[in-house]
Amino acid sequence: MEDKIGVFICTGYGIAEALDIDALSKVATGEYNIPFCTTIDSCEKRDLELVYEDIKKEGLNKIIIAGISARRYTEEAFPEGVIVEKFGLLEHVVLCQPPNEEDTQMMAEDYLRMYITKVQKMATLEPFQSEEAIDKSILVVGGGITGLTAALDAANTGYEVKLTEKTDRLGGWLAKQYKSIPTRPPYRELEDTNVDALITEVEENPLIKVYKSAITSEITGAPGLFDVTLKSVANGKSGGEVLDKFRVGAIIQATGWKPKEPRDELPYGKVEDVIRNVELEEMLKNDGRITRPSDGKEVKSIAFIQCGGSRNKEHHSYCSSICCLTSLKQAMYLRESVDDAKAYIFYEFIRTPGQYEDFYRRAQEDPGVFLTRANVADVTRNDDGALVLTAENTMPGEKIQVKVDLVVLAAGMIPNSADGEAIRAYEDAKVTAEKGESDTERDRAAETVAKLIDHEGTEILNLNYRQGPDLPILQYGFPDSHFICFPYESRRTGIYPSGCVRQPMDGLSSKEDAAGAALKAIQCVEMTSRGEAVHPRAGDQSYPDFFLQRCTQCKRCTEECPFGVLNEDEKGTPLLQATRCRRCGVCLGACPERIVSFKDYSVDIIGSMIKAVDVPDEFDEKPRILAFLCENDAFPALDQAGLHRLQYTPFVRIIPVRCLGSVNSVWVTEAISAGFDGVILIGCKYGDDYQCHFCKGSELAFSRSENVREKLEQMQMENQRVELHQLQISEYEKLPEIFDKFAEMIEEIGMNPYKGM
Ligand code: SF4
Ligand code: SF4
């Protein structure tokens, strides 16, 4: 179809007072021969309706609106099939530059050139449609409280569910609990777990099929098209018999947690009658009373040691979330079941968030519960068989001793996705790397830390993915995710970790988490069936096209794709599993052959935008700086900078990119060849607490930048001409400083010698 482009220039918000609108229009009508260019009074509903009318009347199929920044639109009802590009003439020019200056006008005109060029190159999106029907059923792996709730929530919304549990019974840890902490007002009384009712509800739901003693021995495919093979489990091991094979659209991994093995500094395993909280719970569930393991005597006093291995700087440094509540609950069991019983709780901090504070208050009010802030120094056994616990650094500063029948450690929680031994080895190595006696010992330990930080977890899902059989995990074994913005997402599209495998949480939070994961899974199958991306580019209908005739099988795209989208054939040619794709463009940035493109984002489109800028020659003394800003944080920060009227150099021209990882280094060299004096790349923070919406994209850009600098050196250019920054949206105030300092540096080192060549 022939392009019919229209340009709409907004004159509201003070834009007309700051710019020469006639001159700006002439860029469209004169330089680019755009047949339809008009002004609108605002970018709000009533004026946008006039735009819709013009689109229909003029038969426009591509339009540009130069007005307020695209991110701030609330009205989006453009006729279907029309390509719409909006840019922030207000925030990115008028509000950050002095009005009616030559440089301000030049900036506005350049942006118009860039966006006209962009739409000229863009093609209408055609959502990916699989040849096979997209399956909308959901697989839930794990039959504990999270898995049961997720299965019910999905089924009650009308989706078919397959629920697998590796043991021979449903219920997980919930089924091993004697009572539950309070979940209802007044949050003071222990409650029945109601696990049997929950299991019955699941088993009787016609939309849920339950498989017990089953593991997923293989999962191939992609969202909407996952093929699952289930095998039987006997005595905790795969029995090898295939139980079933089926297709699902999305997967919820609710595989729960295991208690941490206490470390050597705690008396567990060395002194009899020192047990963990899970063992006390099991004892009550089975026998209904608390007895001493050593002699079966009824227990009348218990000392609870909080953070029994958690929240230690050297190992298991995170809070396991439920241990404080569990000890308070177990203290209540004791107090409610034995007259004059005494419960001593030794803690560093008690954590009972939200309404659970009322439960904590109840324990504080109980005269038989003694809450003491202290470190436990020692646990020994008296001649009379009692345990003597010595605590120091107490709040009043005195050493205290208590005689008890039983000591209970609040053992920490580790996710079942973690390999406990690998984590222990990692933690030990971390300590030695810091405190080892010799340089050699410390260096060796540091190498082990580096090796183990990316250790693989336990095999649960058995994904047939080039990048490994399970969700990539973080240092403590929790599946990697974007914890700030998308906590439910994992690095495998369509697979949603939920409950304690995602982060430590209590039963109530697990249920909420399960509802969240069920919704994510539903969203995934629905969006996949429409050919749309899921988070974070939810609704995006583009997807990457690989021009494989020119592929050199270098494998960079397969290795760098953060989401494991690309499989390979035997020669190493990437095989796109399109429904796994998050449309980040990292493969586009990675490919040295420049053969990966989206219909609305490609090496050619961005390269043409760069070349559209009118770069003055060196005698004008007007440098030009190109900046690539990540659309997720840095570009919205630019909007904020504008809205706060922060002023910066008029010589910068900014291009938003899907992710800094999508920046192909050819854009940098093309910019330098086009006469730009320097290039700035601004992406999200990376590292352990990364904020990159595409996990490793920003980090990749930084690691690739070395190649860019080398290329500059080959071109006999100063490598300072390329600068990379990490920025989060709240740091918008830093943007002017970044741009201005870079402009000063360019002034110092001089203009690009390639200018005008
Ligand atoms: S790198 Fe990003 S765009 Fe490319 S295949 Fe992977 S998820 Fe899709
Ligand atoms: S990065 Fe490009 S050339 Fe290399 S394997 Fe991928 S598509 Fe082929």
Distance in Å, CA 228 to ligand 1 centroid: 24
Architecture of domain 1-124: 3-Layer(aba) Sandwich (3.40)
Give the tens place of pLDDT for each residue, 600-632: 999 999 999 999 999 998 777 899 999 999 999
Closest protein CA for atom 2 of ligand 1: 584
Cα torsion 156, 157, 162, 165: sign: negative
Record: fold of 602-757: Rossmann fold (3.40.50)
Task: For residues 322-329, give the mean pLDDT.
Answer: 93
Architecture of domain 138-256+456-529: 3-Layer(bba) Sandwich (3.50)
C-alpha–C-alpha distance, residues 56 and 51, integer Å = 9
Closest protein CA for atom 4 of ligand 2: 554
Mean pLDDT of the chain: 91
Residue 175 scores a pLDDT above 70:
yes
Closest protein CA for atom 2 of ligand 2: 591
Look up residue 539 and give its DSSP letter. T
Residue 24 scores a pLDDT above 70:
yes
Pocket test for ligand 1, best of 545, 582, 662, 695 (most atoms within 8 A of CB): 582
Distance in Å, CA 565 to ligand 2 centroid: 13
Would the CATH topology of 1-124 be identical to that of 602-757? yes
Structure tokens at 669: 């060299």
Counting ligands in written order, which one lies closest to the CA of residue 601?
A: 1
Q: What percent of the chain has pLDDT above 70?
A: 97
Task: For residues 92-101, give the mean pLDDT.
Answer: 98
Look at residue 240 and give its three-state secondary structure.
strand
Does 603 sit in the ligand 2 pocket, CB within 6 Å?
no
Return the number of other C-beta atoms located less than 10 Å from residue 49's C-beta.
12
The three-point CA angle 521-524-527 to 5° equals 150
What amino acid is encoded at 621 in this protein? E
Show me where the domains of the chain are located: 1-124, 138-256+456-529, 260-412, 425-451, 545-586, 602-757
Which residues does a 6 A CB cutoff place in the pocket of ligand 1? 544, 561, 563, 565-566, 581-587
Look at residue 247 and give its three-state secondary structure.
strand
Task: For residues 668-691, give the mean pLDDT.
Answer: 90
Distance in Å, CA 599 to ligand 1 centroid: 14
Q: Judge whether 177 and 501 are in contact, CB under 8 Å.
A: no
Record: fold of 260-412: FAD/NAD(P)-binding domain (3.50.50)
Q: Could you give the C-alpha distances from 629 to 293, 634, 719, in angstroms and in order? A: 63, 5, 20
User: Which class does domain 545-586 fall in?
Assistant: alpha beta
Return the bridge partners of 64, or none. Answer: 7, 85
- Torsion on CA atoms 648, 650, 653, 656, rounded to nearest 10: 30
Task: For residues 490-495, give the mean pLDDT.
Answer: 95
Judged by average pLDDT, the poorest of 134-138, 216-220, 239-243, 556-560 is 239-243
Counting atoms of ligand 1 from 1, which one is nearest the CA of 544?
Answer: 3
Structure tokens at 204: 């009787």
253-281 burial, b for 16+ CB within 10 Å, e for fewer? bbbbbbbbbbbeebbbeeeebbbbbbbbb
C-alpha–C-alpha distance, residues 595 and 573, integer Å = 12
Give the tens place of pLDDT for each residue, 202-228: 999 999 999 999 999 999 999 999 999
Give the tens place of pLDDT for each residue, 419-436: 877 777 777 888 888 888
C-alpha–C-alpha distance, residues 146 and 252, integer Å = 10
Give the tens place of pLDDT for each residue, 340-353: 999 999 998 889 98
Orientation of helix 634-643 relative to helix 734-749, angle to 10°: 100
pTM: 0.92
Pocket test for ligand 2, best of 549, 554, 555 (most atoms within 8 A of CB): 554
Does 586 sit in the ligand 2 pocket, CB within 6 Å?
no
Residue 528 scores a pLDDT above 80:
yes
**pLDDT-derived band of residue 78, with 50, 70 and 90 as boundaries?**
confident
**pLDDT-derived band of residue 709, with 50, 70 and 90 as boundaries?**
confident
Distance in Å, CA 674 to ligand 1 centroid: 29
Nearest to 521 by CA among 12, 158, 271: 158
Judged by average pLDDT, the poorest of 24-33, 128-137, 704-713 is 704-713
Q: What pLDDT sits at residue 426?
A: 78
Q: Judge whether 728 and 684 are in contact, CB under 8 Å.
A: yes
